[in-house]
Every structure is written in structure tokens, then in C-alpha cells.
Amino acid sequence: MPNYVVEHMEPEIGPWSTLEYIAIANETTADSTFYISSLQDSLAANMPETLKPILESNPRFVATNKDITTLAAGVPKERICLLDPRAEKTLSPEDSGEFDWFVFGGILGDDPPRDRTAELRVHGFTGRNLQKLQMTTDTAVRVTRLVIEEKKSIESGIPFVWNPELKVKKNETVQMPFRYVTDQNGEPILPAGMFDLIKEDANKDLMDLFD
């Protein structure tokens, strides 16, 4: 039964992280558990309102101030997989029986990537990449599930798009510097509400130009 652990590494749980975490929680099957871990006490006590009902209704979604070393205390390090773009080996369906815990950085993507996943590398878990290109955290969890639970190969079994352009206004697009899984229409899979948030942010940026 896989455990997916997102070690929260941002100072707050902002709107982007909130939508990503809701998407991961909603995709969590009855056979797995999703933890948001390493929450400072002040964040754990003040979870965003939109996360609260999901946390209360879904026993497979846990928010905790414990970190991965406490959550998986006693689990041999070789059974804990850190999803790490710099790891040597790519995650494959053969890894399904190898790991019980999958750990991700709860980090907002940055362009160019700053390798903040390095902070988790120090624990000495077994690293696996999802190929080189940077994914959002919810995409990285989605891809890991597809590989581990559905035995799809990253090389040939999952449709991806890199750097998609999202049309935020009639004559304006925003390019997302990430790799996404695509849906049956070839569109990037984004958390519910994310497209609106990107549109809002694009508008704010435009307004800032006139301030």
C-alpha cells in the first residue's frame, strides 16, 4: 500500500499549493495514503479553509507536523523513494514492489529550477527521477501513481506536454515551464481552479505594470 508524502517546504500554504494538494487528495485511492508533512505548528493549526472539509472527510489524507523520518520511522531507507530530478535511475513499473513510501518536495516550481529537492536528498533515501524535466508537485505524484499503481512506463505509456501555452486572454498566453500529463484531448492536466488562478495572476502582473 503506497504512502505518498509531500514534505511541505514553503513558508505558507498559498493558493497554488492548496489547489495542488486538493488535486492530489482527490486522486488518492482507497489503497494509498497522502500526507502533507513537516507543517509548522502555526500552519497545521490554520489550514486553508478549502482544504479543511477534504481533510475531515478523507481518512486517507493527513496533514501533520511530523516529517518523513518520523512518519516512516523504522522503515529501511531503501524502501523509501525520493522523487528527485537529479537521481540516476528513472522510476519504472518494476519499482512497484520495491518501495512503500514515495517522498516529494512540497515546493513551488521555479524557472530555472533551484534544486531545492536537495534538502530532502540528505536523508539518504533511494532516488528515482521522472526524467529530467521539471513537473509540478501534483504532476509528479500523478506520474508516480501511474507508474507504480497502473504499471505505465514513463518512456512510452504516459502522454506528456512540456511548456504548454495557456490562453489567458484573447491575445495573451502564459507559458508554463513544466511538464504535464495530458488528458484525452491533449490538454495539460491542471488542478481544478488552477487555470483561473493563473488568469488572475496574469491580470495582476499586467496591473502592476501600470502602478
**Residue 87 contacts residue 124 (beta carbons within 8 Å):** no
Work out whether 10 is an interface residue with ligand SAM (CB under 6 A).
no
Work out whether 105 is an interface residue with ligand SAM (CB under 6 A).
yes
Q: How many residues bind ligand SAM (CB under 6 A)?
A: 22
Work out whether 119 is an interface residue with ligand SAM (CB under 6 A).
no
Q: 14-20, long-range: CB within 8 Å, 24+ apart, which pairs?
A: 14/108, 15/197, 16/108, 16/194, 16/197, 17/106, 17/108, 17/137, 18/48, 18/50, 18/51, 19/191, 19/192, 19/193, 19/194, 19/197, 20/136, 20/137, 20/138, 20/191, 20/194
Min. distance of Cβ 211 from ligand SAM in angstroms?
29
For ligand SAM, give the closer residue by CB, 162 or 172. Answer: 162
Work out whether 116 is an interface residue with ligand SAM (CB under 6 A).
yes
Work out whether 129 is an interface residue with ligand SAM (CB under 6 A).
yes
Q: Which of 114, 151, 167, 169 binds ligand SAM (CB under 6 A)?
A: 114
Min. distance of Cβ 110 from ligand SAM in angstroms?
5
